[in-house]
Structure 1
């Protein structure tokens, strides 16, 4: 049941990311049409594209990208066995948890402070615009905690997704 719920939430996150990508594409097409067909350059399309891109990148990294799809430099892991890899993975995950955890209060303060500013064309308050970074930071911390649990869970190690299935 939990797995089904998580799969549905992941699908919703993918749909939202697809919607953000569609917004970027449509804003880009509108910008080209207004500028080159009607000779009416506007700024709101560029601003909308930038906002959607920011949200797409951080939303996607937080909720859409799966752990096995992340780019990692793992050549060191070839020299260690499963226990050594678990130690290396745990140290890396704890490092990210500490760094993002230490930065979280200052990040929150900055985002909250930005409520006094608005975007130039769309009048979006910057605290709303940058709030996705707080969500992203919390997701990184949660994913690293989950990674530590997975590294030390008893049982066979997870299959490397880059190798073909037997």
Structure 2
């Protein structure tokens, strides 16, 4: 497991570094050399998409995701547990239900290519179903812990 975490962390770092270097190359080529490189903007957008969904699906713990918890924080532990079970199960169900539709659309996108790099769009957006599966697995793990008499308080 530790080995997989290292791979995840290094993949995230590598994507961030390449994203940063791509942005710097685009800025330097446009404003210093006055010869813009067309593909830097496109690569930056693609890397941004991959960084966001990869990090959101694999690196960011559920408790650190953005949420509106003003009302939630005022509830009792039992109420928080019920709401957490319902929302986790609901979100997992929506993601599982939508996965075939997402896959169908992404499979259709092999026909289209990006403007500058000429990469197939199915490769560009393949991170989204990967993200969905990762989030569903995380939610199912969370549900098991929420339903466990021993671990549920740690998940709140």
**Would the TM-score normalized by the shorter structure come out above 0.5?**
yes
Q: TM-score, normalised by structure 2?
A: 0.91
Q: Does 1:88 align with 2:110?
A: no
Q: TM-score, normalised by structure 1?
A: 0.86
Gaps of 5+ in 1: 161-166
Question: Whole-Å Cα distance in 2 between the matches of residues 134 and 46 of structure 1?
Answer: 24
Partner of 1:22: 17
Partner of 1:60: 55
The residue matched to 1:106 in structure 2 has which SS? helix
The within-5 A match list for 1:79-158 is 79-81=75-77, 83-155=78-150, 157-158=153-154
Once the two structures are TM-superposed, the CA of residue 42 in structure 1 deviates from its matched residue by 1.9
Partner of 2:30: 35
The residue matched to 1:158 in structure 2 has which SS? helix
Task: List per-residue Cα deviations over 1:58-116 (Å, max 9, x = no partner).
Answer: 000010101232223333253223x3322111100111012111211110000000000
Question: Whole-Å Cα distance in 2 between the matches of residues 129 and 61 of structure 1?
Answer: 17
Once the two structures are TM-superposed, the CA of residue 144 in structure 1 deviates from its matched residue by 0.9
Question: Whole-Å Cα distance in 2 between the matches of residues 37 and 72 of structure 1?
Answer: 41
Task: List per-residue Cα deviations over 1:90-147 (Å, max 9, x = no partner).
Answer: 1001110121112111100000000001111111111111100010111111111111
Contact (CA 8 Å) 1:10, 1:63: kept in 2 or not?
no
Deviating above 6 A after TM superposition, structure 1's stretches of 4 or more consecutive aligned residues are none
Question: Whole-Å Cα distance in 2 between the matches of residues 88 and 37 of structure 1?
Answer: 54
